[in-house]
A = this chain, B = another copy of it.
């Protein structure tokens, strides 16, 4: 990969230096998750070919799948009209993007009575994914 970072200048980083990044599954089109990126996370995503985010809760770079093995191989990096949202097209390794052990993070849907109902199964016990202590 080039060491020329000119492409990063097109990004309108937020006041906290972050922008939201949506991961969409290659092939199925499923929206898997939304996480955050800083400049270094986006640069590393391109360089490594795997999604790297900025974990706001841990305040550090987060190589997605570093603990779970559920890495996201990047097929495409897209940018929106305002330059402040990234859309990744990814291959989700292991078929599980969510830390709850589900395929994707959007497993709650509002029903007509105003209740959030779970619409997707847990595919793997999180304790088995991350190990229990």
Binding site for B on A (CB under 8 A): 1-2, 4, 6-7, 10, 20, 22, 24, 28-31, 33-34, 46, 76-82, 85, 87, 98-100, 102, 105-110, 113-116, 119
Contacts and interface: CB of A to CB of B under 8 A. Distances in A.
Nearest to A115: B7
B109 A77 contact: yes
A68 to B, nearest CB: 14
Contacts of A34: 20, 22, 80, 85
Given A22-B34, A31-B87, A79-B109, 16 more contacts: A2-B113, A2-B114, A10-B116, A24-B31, A28-B29, A34-B80, A46-B110, A46-B114, A78-B106, A78-B108, A79-B108, A79-B116, A81-B98, A81-B99, A81-B102, A85-B106
A110 B33 contact: no
Number of copies: 2
Given A20-B20, A85-B34, A116 B80 contact: no
A87 B114 contact: no
